[in-house]
Structure 1
Amino acid sequence: MQYSVGVEYALHCLVYLIDVPSNESIGIKDLAEFQGLPETFLSKVFGKLSKAGIVSSVPGVKGGYRLSKSPEDISFWDVIEAIEGTKPIFQCKNIKDNGYLYRENCCKPTSFCTINSVMLSAEEKMRDELRSKTLSWLNKELDSVLSKQIREDTRNFFSKSKT
């Protein structure tokens, strides 16, 4: 399983929205320009984020998007679920029920699949880890791994696009 690039772009763009004052927003055009993306692609990503209640849209010429929740309340898993949906990664097809013994009618198939159980347990552990990482955590992490100049230049890019 591979998450789409939309998850990565969503997480990056959401970090840019953290410092936006509550009465302002950032437009898709500016977010797309900063990321080097087509606006149409990012619009689809933000449509999913909006539907999930992660961002809200602000209509009008100076409109755009802003966070709908506190950065502490938006986890990586929330973003993944918004972009990718809720289906489990592993899709058990109960192929065990087509095995030799079951075809020969000597044994009844059981409904329990050990492989499915292990896969679902592993997925839950991954989801728990992704739930533990929030936009607030990411923002702090970026402060420690990126230079102050890069962080300031990023904020300035979006501040200047409002003028």
Structure 2
Amino acid sequence: MSLYSAGVEYGIHCLLFLVGDGGESREASVRDLAELQGVPQDYLAKIFTKLAKAKLVAATEGVRGGFKLARPADEISILDIVNAIDGQKLIFDCREIRGRCALFEGSPPAWALDGHCSVHAAMMTAQKRMEEALAQQTILDLARKVGRKSPAEFPAQVGKWINDRREKKSAAQTSDDQAIPVTEISD
């Protein structure tokens, strides 16, 4: 079982596509991002609601509207995204079994319960290190790694794909607006 939901993976990948070539934010709709990556649109819409509530993305208005990064990509950590989508999760839930040893015959000695549980302490150290690692990486860091790995033309292809989709929406809306003469619109 994984610690974080599939939504975290979807959200991080989507935010990567909102980072343009130079690290600036680009706009895209949830529908386009879902189609681009082959993920469920309804689920992705819920994820973007959480990302917007956490002020990691901002909605853009108009026919070509969608979402863009609400802050510079180098100011959005992976931990910010994880917490926005899944909330803060503990990797360990201590059940304090250290006092239940059968040898204690129902009454644990003071030394068994003295201080913090060493198992719990080890797990909390691991949690802290994991969160520190996620906090140190930004969405821009990941976008640059993907950029180094992908063919040089890939970022431009992504930008073109998203822009073409936005242009088609704009053109469709314009033709819809022209289809009904203003004089025929009634209250």
On whether the aligned pair clears a TM of 0.5, the verdict is yes
Deviations 1:2-45 (A, max 9, x none): 122211111111011122977x7311111111011221011011
| % same residue | 31
Q: TM-score, normalised by structure 1?
A: 0.88
Q: Note the C-alpha offset of 1:153.
A: 1.0
> Which stretches of structure 1, 4 residues or longer, exceed 4 Å deviation after superposition?
none
Q: Distance in 2 between matches of 1:9 and 1:157?
A: 19
Where 1:41 maps in the other structure, the secondary structure is helix
One-letter code aligned to 1:148: A
**Number of the residue aligned with 2:99:** 97
Count residues in correspondence: 162
**Number of the residue aligned with 2:11:** 10
Runs of 5+ consecutive residues of structure 2 not aligned to the other structure: 168-187
One-letter code aligned to 1:37: V
8 Å Cα contact 1:77/1:130 also seen in 2: yes
Q: Distance in 2 between matches of 1:71 and 1:120?
A: 29
**Number of the residue aligned with 2:46:** 44
One-letter code aligned to 1:6: G
Where 1:148 maps in the other structure, the secondary structure is coil
Pick which of 67-76 and 13-22 moved more: 13-22
One-letter code aligned to 1:123: Q
Aligned partner of 1:26 among 11, 25, 28: 28
**Number of the residue aligned with 1:154:** 158
Distance 1:97 1:71, change over 3 A: same
Q: Distance in 1 between matches of 2:93 and 2:62?
A: 43
Deviations 1:82-105 (A, max 9, x none): 122112111111122333355532
Q: Distance in 1 between matches of 2:105 and 2:10?
A: 48
8 Å Cα contact 2:27/2:68 also seen in 1: yes
One-letter code aligned to 2:18: L
Structure number, greater radius of gyration: 2
Q: TM-score, normalised by structure 2?
A: 0.78
Q: Distance in 2 between matches of 1:104 and 1:126?
A: 37
Runs of 5+ consecutive residues of structure 1 not aligned to the other structure: none
**Number of the residue aligned with 1:131:** 135
**Number of the residue aligned with 1:78:** 80
Distance 1:151 1:123, change over 3 A: same
